[in-house]
Amino acid sequence: MMNNDLVINVQRLNKYFGDKHVVKDFSLQVRRGEIYGFLGPNGSGKTTSIRMLCGLLTPDSGSGTCLGHDILRETAAIKREVGYMTQRFSLWDDLSIRENLEFVARMYGMKNRRLAVTQEIERLGLTERQHQLAGTLSGGWKQRLALASCMLHNPKLLLLDEPTAGVDPKARRDFWTQIHDLAATGISVLVATHYMDEAERCHRLAYIAYGRLLATGTPDEVLHAVRLSTWEVSGPPAKLAEVASLLHGRPAVAHVTAFGNTLHVTGEDADALERVVAAFFHEKELQWRKSQAGLEDVFIHHVEETDAAAAGARP
């Protein structure tokens, strides 16, 4: 891969807040037009990592470039080419949609502000609501407004921090359609999310825990990087609760997770796991079948492994 294909190319980034080592030797490459998903538990360093990648936070050590600019010396240049959508709605409730966007356009010192705002309002389907106060909008419409404010200055890179938290499924689906449309034009997108269906819609994923990058690759590569065997069992809720209690902590069982009216029983040794669950095959209330581990199984597996490692490292 040629370096000019890379929007982000960073090596061994570290960040401390006081004596807390929040991000540890973080390296990553992101291509032009790529949607890169960041997964990890709360407090894992996802947001800090993304902000360092985009020039919004200066690393304490490490090196690299974003949009061709040095992440240590040229952060101002990077910021001018990045659109940042925070986890919480950060615009002004007592201004209308149009007033909010015109204010943002003035902050960027944009020329032809009114025309740019009108075009962005039309592009995101906000024309009929442009004079509505932002504080009266639903979560989905606030999300559209926040995205519009990020796109006003035609950024080359979008930074989205859990952008669909608190919005309904249709708004989430519509939002991701917009994100893929933007990526198709060459805009790169970094998105932190906890939703596995959203992770599957990313081109590549990074899994971060306790400040370290533990896994990266396409969703399929991340899924198969950990060899997990999974059995799915369905039955009456009370019976499933009993089975879950009996299986927790058994040898060969990495974790037991409820998914609606089923349990996923997962382990790394397929033969040993089958011997454990086979003890329940005779129970007529239960229906067992071999299943394929999903991204959520892999995510939970990483969470439990890193939690256990962190607990073991404590004095």
For each of the chain's 315 residues, which pLDDT tens digit applies?
445 689 999 999 999 999 999 999 999 999 999 999 998 877 888 889 988 988 888 999 999 999 999 999 999 999 889 988 876 667 888 899 899 899 888 888 888 888 989 988 888 788 888 898 988 888 778 888 888 888 888 899 999 888 887 778 888 888 899 899 999 999 999 998 888 888 889 999 998 888 888 888 998 888 887 788 999 999 999 999 999 999 988 989 988 988 888 999 999 899 999 999 999 999 999 999 998 888 888 887 777 776 665 555 545
pLDDT at 2: 41
CA 250 to chain CA centroid, Å, is 32
Q: Is 19 exposed, middle or buried (0-12, 13-18, 19+ CB in 10 A)?
A: exposed
Helix (H, G, I), strand (E, B) or coil at 42: coil
* DSSP-assigned letters across all residues of 186-239: T-EEEEE---HHHHTTSSEEEEEETTEEEEEE-HHHHHHHS--EEEEEE--HHH
pLDDT at 69: 94
Domain 227-292 has CATH 3.30.70.920: yes
CA 221 to chain CA centroid, Å, is 16
Q: What are phi and psi of 227, to 5 degrees?
A: -85, 100
The residues, ordered by sequence, that sit 6+ positions from 8 with a Cβ below 8 Å of its Cβ are: 28, 29, 30, 53, 54, 64, 65, 66, 67, 157, 188, 190
CA dist 238 → 242, 262, 266, 288, 289 (Å): 6, 12, 20, 16, 19
At which residue do the structure tokens 């009929």 appear? 128
pLDDT at 312: 54
When the candidates are 3.40.50.720, 3.40.50.300, 3.30.479.30, 3.40.50.2300, the CATH number that belongs to 3-223 is 3.40.50.300
Name the amino acid, one letter, at 48: T
> pTM value?
0.81
pLDDT at 89: 67
Contact status, residue 270 vs residue 229, Cβ threshold 8 Å: yes
CA dist 50 → 7, 15, 199, 213, 287 (Å): 13, 12, 16, 12, 43
Which pair of tokens denotes residue 313? 């490292």
Contact status, residue 159 vs residue 193, Cβ threshold 8 Å: no
CA-wise closest residue to 233 among 283, 275, 184, 308: 283
Residue range(s) occupied by CATH 3.40.50.300 in the chain: 3-223
pLDDT at 305: 72
**What DSSP character marks residue 154?**
-
pLDDT at 309: 59
**CB count, 10 Å around CB of 201?**
17
CA dist 166 → 87, 122, 140, 159, 211 (Å): 10, 24, 8, 18, 26
Q: Length of the chain, please? A: 315
Helix, strand and coil percent figures for the chain, each rounded to 5? 40, 30, 30
